[in-house]
Amino acid sequence: MSIQRAPWIAYRFIFVWVVDALSILITTALPVGIHITADNALQSLSVALSVALVTGLLNLVVRPVLLVLTLPLNVLTIGLLNIPINALILGLAAWLIPSFAVSGAGAALMGSLIISAVNTFLTSLTTVDDNHEFYQGVVEWLSQRQRVSPDGVTERGILMVEIDGLSHDRLLYAVRRGYMPTLRAMLEGGQHHVSVVECGLPSQTSACQAGILFGDNYDIPAFRWWDKAEQRLIVSNKMADARLLDERLSHGRGLLRGGSSVGNMLAGDAMKSVLTMSTMDPRTPDEDRWRQEDLYLFFLNPYIFTRSLILTIVDLFRELAQALRDQVTNRQPRINRLDKGYPAIRAATNVFLRDLETFLVALDIIRGMPAIYTSLIGYDEVAHHAGPDSPDAYQTLHGIDAAVRHLPGHHRPQAGGGPTISVCPVRPRPILRRYLRAALRPHPRRASSAGGGGPRDGSHLDHGPTRRRFDQGSRDPTATS
């Protein structure tokens, strides 16, 4: 935290303090067993400010100790132990401030959740970012003490953010229609541009990631296939099968050597791997220590976990409402959006995992990791169930765009030592067009006479004007081709 940032940090501290006090006041007005004893509104506000200040101090002093003592269990429960820790902090504040009362453990649990929910709502109404910079500054300071210096790497690094399932053309459409204002600003700044990469066949995540991270996706014919050598079905997103693919492809020279893999299927020879399917079982004690330290820092901020949990629940109900809307309006074509617990899976991937991965990537940027790759799968999950061009799928890009905005240095691609950010939508169509043209060339009559209202030789997939608009100087993503 530099001296130049001190006024901004002080402003953010005051903002967080006031919002916390308002959240406490609103919560005491609800029948949850939390009360403030005061003669008038001004005294109530004074008590609320005192409670907010005391809980803030407890979060800085007591919370780290509680997290260290409960870290293994907290990791095992994916952070759910944070809820009783927040309740305990609230109870300690009531014990220290006589005019603030919490009528029991249940009231403390419910009250801490409501305070966090109200806090999330209030911060969403402001133009101030909701990461609570005062606490986040502490987390960043701690992570800077863990800077890494892998052998044989330079100061400049690369960060690749894969938006799973999003094609090049749909990315440009989302930028033009305002779903991704951060990417739009990056493109208009002139230091970023959009280009096309052929992902190859099959156009699915494990093959694409293998090609990007290892330079080789040989013998990955599909997402699921019968492997003759193993004499069993291989499924790319199963831990054992992802580990098998990683071991087959690893040669020690992967893109992420000395770097970090966050939320992927394959690790790419990463030194540090978190939430990666092929390395869910820690490979070394050091890797296990890295993971626990990362999650400790995630839980250290009293707002991030609870905020993510609340927004995950909101997204679950949003999916239920969208599924009901499809049923009532008889939207076609459609599939069962309630099957196999999909609403919960969507909410977890589209909100909670996205927030957690963004936080972990930000930590690795601060630490100076030379290469980072992360995969955000929320759009892909919704696109599979609602359609890739549906408003439901495009709306998920708001959160992904916000995740990019929260990454340190996203707007400074040329800053010394800063990461070069690459947003990687999976785009099957260019390679598909090439194969289609080769396959259909001997049968032009079949292509021209087939029904469906459009050419079947792949020409309708041409993105030329759209690509030229970005690759040849024009940076206005709102223009139409």
Give yes or no for residue 470 having a pLDDT over 60.
Answer: no
Domain covering 155-442+454-471 assigned CATH 3.40.720 in the classification: yes
pLDDT tens-place string over residues 442-455 = 444 333 333 333 33
Neighbours of 325 (CB within 10 A): 11
- CA 356 to chain CA mean position, Å: 6
> Are the C-beta atoms of residues 352 and 307 closer than 8 Å to each other?
no
CA distance 347 to 315: 5
Residue found by looking up tokens 């459009």 in the block: 454
pLDDT of residue 226: 94
Q: Which of the residue ranges 70-74, 138-142, 219-223, 427-431 would you say has the lowest mean pLDDT?
A: 427-431
Residue type, 342: Y
Q: Give one DSSP letter per residue of 375-437, joined into a string.
A: EE-HHHHHHHHH-TTSHHHHHHHHHHHHHHHTSTTTT-TTSTTPEEEEEEE---HHHHHHHHH
One DSSP character per residue, 236-293 reads TTSHHHHHHHHHHH--S--TTBTSEEES-S--TTBSEEES-GGGSS-SSHHHHHHHHH
* Average pLDDT rounded to a whole number, residues 394-413: 79
Question: Torsions phi, psi of 371, nearest 5?
Answer: -145, 130
Burial of residue 207 (CB within 10 Å: 0-12, 13-18, 19+) is: buried
User: What is the pLDDT, as a whole number, of residue 144?
Assistant: 56
Write out pLDDT tens, residues 211-264. Answer: 889 988 888 999 999 998 889 999 999 999 999 999 999 988 899 998 999 999
pLDDT single digits (tens) 85-110:
999 999 999 999 999 999 999 999 99
Average pLDDT, the chain: 79
How far is the C-alpha of 229 from the C-alpha of 231, rounded, in Å? 6
Q: How large is the angle between the packed helices 239-249 and 205-214, nearest 10 degrees?
A: 30
Smallest CA-to-CA distance from 169 within 421, 386, 467, 399 is with 467
Among candidates 136, 57, 43, which has minimal Cα distance to 93? 57
Q: Residue 299 has what pLDDT?
A: 86
Per-domain boundaries in the chain = 3-128, 155-442+454-471
Question: What HEC string does 25-84 produce?
Answer: HHHHCCCCCEEECCCCHHHHHHHHHHHHHHHHHHHHHHHHHHHHHHHHHHHHCCCCCHHH
The neighbour count for residue 385, using CB atoms within 10 Å, is 23
The predicted model gives 282-301 an average pLDDT of 81
| Residue 89 CA, distance from chain mean position | 28
| pLDDT band for position 199 (cuts 50, 70, 90) | confident
- The pLDDT-based confidence of 415 (bands split at 50, 70, 90) is very low
CA dihedral defined by 40, 46, 47, 52, rounded to 10 degrees? Answer: 150
Q: What is the pTM of this model?
A: 0.78
CA distances from 374 to 35, 277, 463 (A): 44, 12, 27
Query: Which positions ≥6 away from 330 have C-beta within 8 Å?
Result: none
> Residue 328 in 3-state DSSP?
helix
Q: For residue 147, give every residue at least 6 positions away whose Cβ sits within 8 Å of its Cβ, in sequence order, or none.
A: 366, 367, 368
- Strand partners of residue 419: 157
Amino acid 409: pLDDT: 61
Between 193 and 5, whose confidence is greater?
193
Which residue is listed with tokens 């032009």? Answer: 444
Among 30-34, 284-288, 474-478, the range with the most confident prediction by mean pLDDT is 30-34
* Number of other residues whose CB lies within 10 A of the CB of residue 366: 19
pLDDT of residue 10: 76
For residues 374-383, give the mean pLDDT: 93
Distance CA 63, CA 55 (A): 10
Q: Check residue 5 and give its pLDDT.
A: 63
